[in-house]
Amino acid sequence: MLIDTHAHLQWSSFDKDREKIINRARKIGVEYIVNIGFDLEGSRKGIELAEKHRGIYATVGIHPHNASTLDQSILDSLRKLSENPKVVAIGEIGLDYYRNLSPREAQKNAFKEQLLLAEELGLPVVIHDRDAHADILKMLSEFKGTTAAIMHCFSGSKEMAKQCLKSGSYISFAGPVTFPNAFRLQEIAKWIDLDKVLLETDSPWLAPQEVRGKRNEPAFLTFVAKKIANLKGMSIDELANVTTENANAIFQFP
Ligand code: NI
């Protein structure tokens, strides 16, 4: 059994075949999917989907791209949504200094507000970090010990991975680890202790090498798992067991 810890099945590109995609994932062994929120509407839709399906869970949060939309009423709505038993984390939240779709100050503010919310609710956070490694680590360090973090689609250096692990964060690997030129990421996957490793697809984005350019889906998690198992010199089953245990530990699926 594998757990896709990061997918966006509420995205419109799944409108025509969402049920089929979920069944396909299940058949291949991806039995749990954590459906990640990115704005208020997406968070709501994610919960609806989770309520309809055994094995699907949801997170609620405002993505850094949408950070400038965050106000008190949205925060209150997120708090309310998080009462749903299928909500297992706040996310994805963080900083994106690559696309800068919201001003950096708005991003930092939204990140901080949602870290506070996670702390208040006792939920872990799913972190989006693009070209913002230093600020992410700095802001997370203020919540050390109160809020566990998952570094979604980890893209930092080995040094950053070390710092994340030291602060108890989880490192999540997605499709890019399968790309032929992803030497640095593969080196980290080889080196890292498995007890904080998670697997994800980030569907519909970041399709692995074997299906690169296509719409990604949770069933393709097997390509990510195969790559990491290869790098580690272990069987997919062993890797699946450990990463499933890790996902259970952080998300505490009800
Ligand atoms: Ni995502």
Report how far ligand 1's centroid is from the alpha carbon of 217 (Å): 12
For residue 144, pLDDT beyond 80:
no
What's the pLDDT score for residue 245?
98
Domains of the chain plus CATH, in order, are: 2-251 (3.20.20.140)
Distance 96 CA to ligand 1 centre (A): 12
> Would you say residue 63 has pLDDT above 90?
yes
Tokens of 2: 């594998």
| Ligand 1 midpoint to CA 6 (Å) | 6
With CA atoms as reference, report the closest residue to 199 among 180, 179, 220, 181.
220
Q: What angle (nearest 5°) sits at the alpha carbon of residue 89, between those of residues 192 and 43?
A: 125
- Residue 233 CA to ligand 1 center (angstroms) comes to 28
- Using CA atoms, how far apart are residues 9 and 6, in angstroms rounded to an integer? 10
Instruction: Provide the pLDDT for residue 254.
Output: 87
Which pLDDT tens digit goes with each residue over 101-127?
A: 999 999 999 999 999 999 999 999 999
